[in-house]
Amino acid sequence: MYRHLERRLAQRVLGCLQERSPGVTLPPVVIEQPPKVELGDFAIPLFPFAKPLRSAPLKIAEMIRSEIGPIEGIAELQVAPPGYLNIKIDRAWMAAALATDQKPPADVAAGKILVEHSSINPNKAAHIGHLRNAILGDTFVRLLRYASRIVDIQNYIDNTGVQVADVVVGFTQLEKKSRAEIEALTRQPRFDYYCWDLYARVSQWYEADKQNKQVRLQTLHAIEDAGSETAAIAELISIAVLRRHLETMDRLDIEYDFLPRESEILHLHFWNAAFGKLKESGVLTFEESGRNKGCWVMRRAGTGKADPATDGTDDEKIEEEDQKVIVRSNGTVGYVGKDIAYHMWKFGLLGLDFGYLKFYRYPNQHDCWISTTDGEKGHPHFGDVAEIYNVIDARQSEAQNTVIEALRGLGHGEAADHYTHFSYEMVALTPRCAAELGYMLSEEDKTRSYIEVSGRKGFGVKADDLLDQLIASAKKEVDSRHPQLSEAERLGIATQIAIGALRYFMLKYTKQSVIAFDFKEALSFEGETGPYAQYAVVRAASIFRKAGVDADTFCDTLTVNSSPDSLATYLSGDVGNEFWELWLAASKTSYVIDQCIATTEPAYLAKHVFQLAQLFNTFYHRHPILTEPDEKRKQFLLATVAVVRRELIHALAGMGITVPPVM
RNA sequence: GGGCCCGUAGCUCAAAAGGACAGAGCAUCGGAUUUCUAAUCCGAGGGUUGCAGGUUCGAUUCCUGCCGGGCCUACCA
């Protein structure tokens, strides 16, 4: 409703200005929020219009105020120096709409969206860096679905790369394990932890003797040969670790629809199909000489060709340092090439498809599919989507942009325009946290603000460990607060709190900020945290429980209990301003979610949730409800609580956070 | 060398398309009628937004230069 009103206002103001000065090109109408509610709910700065309209901002504001006429939902317009038009919403009108949860129809863009996230190498346990990726991706999916978009969730699995090869080397060379022995190990509860340590040992083994790296190369090649024993072992390991990753993510309510694997991109010859088109379109050029002699290369994204007016048909030579090798001189293709083919598939531009097999069934009966060479019939249709979002950390932005440029070079500008690299910064550790983990710090490291995690060194915080710690910590608190509840109930509540804390923690930072992970902050349940917001909802629910009223249906009867007139009464004056601030904040959830989608920044929603919870807590503290003697006023206060509770639950759900019955 | 990102309170971070006095949390200190559970609330201190210019009616935000930090820049994935 809030965003609806904002849009309506912007249109009317623009219309008013255009009518007054036909033919003049005007800057866009920017709508902001005044610094205080007393000033109004929207603010329009008129400074940008002074020049084109050849009039003082204050005069323009005055003109709009007197000429614009009535607007549904807007109560009052005020001119404020030095050149603002402040607009007040018709509070009772808005509150009535909000109380009854009226949603004006929104225009939903057509076309399916594909969100790819997680993409953890299936050779070791998931760590906190992977958690940030998965939580960002999963949250973005929830936001898109909130906005009525249809979304497929994919998790790309690199099961044939060096990382898997390294663990294969560990099992076969360092531990001399047979396939049967490895198979037995995969049935261990946390097989991914075993691999975590082994991976670190293999890395050390490579360091110890450079000759050892030859083994890696041989293993890597053997894995790509589908029929080999090594490939079978790699499959065994990667599938087992992948299952562990799905289990870990499921603990956080993160699910996937489809797991495309690199092995199928290889075996189904996706690259061959793409290669022909890339050569034909001139995206790839063959190097006859120089450092990259014998390779097929393309221009790296962001280099040269500053002037796109040259029409793409550039036969000019690409400088050597601007070349990205796509096909090596030995004829093998690098990962960017495979990625180009894969992304052509995503947009339905390749002419090939995966085979599909049911792989994993979630407790809620949802099936997750995996790629295979020839799969089962009756599978859902994946790929061939209108828009994609790839949740991949910022280090890969150049590679991502190169894939986008390849699509553009192939003539698929539409696809390239709907390809979004959802880029975010890594999770690192504070020096203190690194020390706690037993990592020896150099003097230089101690002065850094953060230290990068390293799977290769086995240095980092595992996702399951962190979850276990969060649950244990929350459990302790729940145990002491609610000893009368059963063990299972207490554990359930502790788990919800732990997930709330973790998901909020990963979402409260903006994407471009490196998270310096610290146990103290991550384990905090106070202040700007998930549990703070959960607690606000628990308090709201508690009021309704004690009042013997159902919070979900309470507002349905509101029009009977509380007329617009009485809403207007309670929402005016000094105390009314305080109530209105809360109602206004509650009305913004959809608006904020729109902003999050448009900017691919879920942190705004985290901020909104916190502000709403904070306003509610203040309100809760100041206005006793159950003891309120004035029945009409009590109804109004209850309505306020019901609306805030509903919006907080929706907003938290967008972040994948649920609310326990008690805390 | 080239490209991208960052520098804001003691610490960790906000400030959405350039707008009204730069805001939160943590930490510190001082408080809250034994109440709808205090995982809460109220208050206090704390800032030349890295530095220097420029554009603008207006700059934390845009431009240029410097200083400091990070990442990318492999015939690895």
pLDDT number for residue A447 = 75
CA angle A570, A575, A576 (to 5 degrees): 40
In tens, the pLDDT along A317-376 reads: 778 888 899 999 998 899 999 999 999 999 999 999 999 999 999 999 999 999 999 889
Q: Is A659 in contact with A652 (CB distance < 8 Å)?
A: yes
State the nucleotide closest to A45 in CA–C1' terms. Answer: B19
DSSP-derived secondary structure letter, A157: B
pLDDT number for residue A306 = 43
Largest interatomic CA distance in chain A: 89
CA to C1' distance (Å), from A115 to B12: 30
In tens, the pLDDT along A513-524 reads: 999 998 988 999
Q: Is A626 in contact with A546 (CB distance < 8 Å)?
A: yes
In tens, the pLDDT along A49-60 reads: 888 888 888 888
pLDDT number for residue A102 = 84
pLDDT number for residue A199 = 94
- Rounded Cα distance, A645 and A539, in Å: 9
Q: Could you give the 3-state DSSP secondary structure of residue A517?
A: strand
State the nucleotide closest to A86 in CA–C1' terms. Answer: B20
Q: What is the mean pLDDT of residues A524-551?
A: 93
Task: Give the residue from A403, A282, A280 showing the smallest Cα distance to A341.
Answer: A403
pLDDT band at A407 (very low <50, low <70, confident <90, very high): very high
State the nucleotide closest to A48 in CA–C1' terms. Answer: B57
Give, as ranges, the nucleotides of chain B with any atom within 7 Å of a protein CB.
1-6, 11-17, 19-21, 24-27, 35-42, 57-58, 69-77
Q: What is the mean pLDDT of residues A615-623?
A: 94
Q: What is the mean pLDDT of residues A453-471?
A: 91
pLDDT number for residue A309 = 40
pLDDT band at A527 (very low <50, low <70, confident <90, very high): very high
pLDDT band at A304 (very low <50, low <70, confident <90, very high): low
Cβ of A514 less than 7 A from strand B: yes
Q: Which domains does chain A have, with CATH numbers?
A: 2-89 (3.30.1360.70), 463-522 (no CATH), 530-654 (1.10.730.10)
Average pLDDT of the residues of chain A? 90
Sheet containing strand A427-429, edge to edge, reads A451-452, A427-429, A515-517
Task: Give the residue from A517, A532, A420, A524 showing the smallest Cα distance to A140.
Answer: A420
Q: Which helix (H) or strand (E) holds A268?
A: none
Q: Could you give the 3-state DSSP secondary structure of residue A392?
A: strand
Reported ipTM exceeds the 0.90 cut:
yes
- Rounded Cα distance, A28 and A43, in Å: 14
Query: Would you say residue A131 has pLDDT above 90?
Result: yes
Query: Would you say residue A310 has pLDDT above 60?
Result: no
DSSP-derived secondary structure letter, A108: P
Residues 18-57/A with CB within 7 Å of nucleic chain B are: 28, 30, 32, 34-36, 39-40, 43, 45, 47-48, 50
Q: Integer distance in angstroms from the first to the last C-alpha of chain A?
A: 32
Query: Would you say residue A312 has pLDDT above 50?
Result: no
CA to C1' distance (Å), from A615 to B44: 21
Sheet containing strand A367-372, edge to edge, reads A355-361, A367-372, A258-259, A151-154, A113-116, A387-393, A419-424
pLDDT band at A168 (very low <50, low <70, confident <90, very high): very high
pLDDT number for residue A35 = 86
pLDDT number for residue A431 = 84
Q: Is A107 in contact with A55 (CB distance < 8 Å)?
A: no
Q: Locate tokens 């061959």: which residue? A: A272
- Rounded Cα distance, A234 and A476, in Å: 41
pLDDT number for residue A147 = 93
- Rounded Cα distance, A223 and A402, in Å: 27
Q: Which helix (H) or strand (E) holds A54?
A: none
Residues 581-640/A with CB within 7 Å of nucleic chain B are: 592, 595, 599, 603-604, 607-608, 610, 614, 617-618, 620-627
pLDDT number for residue A271 = 94
